[in-house]
Amino acid sequence: MEMVRDFAEKEGIDLEVAMESEEVEAAMARSEKRSEVANAHHCSKAAVDYYKLVNNWFEGAGELWKEIKEDMISALRLELPGRDPEKELVKLNDITDVIRWYQYFISVKIHRVLSGRSEDREEWPDDDMTSDADGSAKIALIAIDRSIGAWGALNNEFPEQQDETLNILVLLDRFRKSLESEFPADRAFIRPGFDEETV
């Protein structure tokens, strides 16, 4: 915002007047409408359900976390044969890092997909070109895939939480299928620098 204000000052633009223009108000109204439509979509709702379930799972597993970490610390001190508690702890932390990294990320990307598609249709109604929304959809699908893998690994570590974990896995699987049916071409989207073949 400082850069915008500096630029406006140099160019002699009164930001308050500019922001009150009919064009700006119309653009903001369109943006709000796209956001409302995106939030009401079943994929957005599934993403919100997911991050809430993740929070509930970690709250419910609080005592188990303590027990598992205490067990690993004890094993480390006792130097029990056949165990590598340091490696076990790193693995557990890696799994939870993946889950926590994508927990809200998926919802943000889904919102970008849905609002971006609406924007694309408004701007270029007759154009079939790929857009930022296609890339966001692919990234959301990759995030779901990785989250499913992490939850599968966590399920083995927390058998006491198996029912809750399976509920999350079912939700993610349905969510992924719904997203793939809604946007079938997005898995094939080529992300510059990520999916391009190098010579």
What pLDDT shows up at residue 19? 65
Q: Are residues 174 and 141 in the same domain?
A: yes
Q: For the chain, where are the alpha helices, taking DSSP H only?
A: 2-11, 15-19, 22-40, 42-60, 62-78, 85-123, 132-157, 162-182
> What is the widest separation between alpha-carbon atoms in the chain?
74
The domain in which residue 2 lies consists of: 1-40
Q: Are residues 28 and 70 in the same domain?
A: no
What pLDDT shows up at residue 62? 78
Tell me the whole-structure pTM to 2 decimals: 0.72
Q: Are residues 107 and 30 in the same domain?
A: no
Q: Are residues 86 and 160 in the same domain?
A: yes
What pLDDT shows up at residue 124? 45
Q: Are residues 121 and 151 in the same domain?
A: yes
What pLDDT shows up at residue 174? 93
pLDDT tens profile 154-195: 998 888 888 999 999 999 999 999 888 887 766 766 766 667
Low-confidence ranges of the chain (pLDDT < 50): 124-127, 129, 199
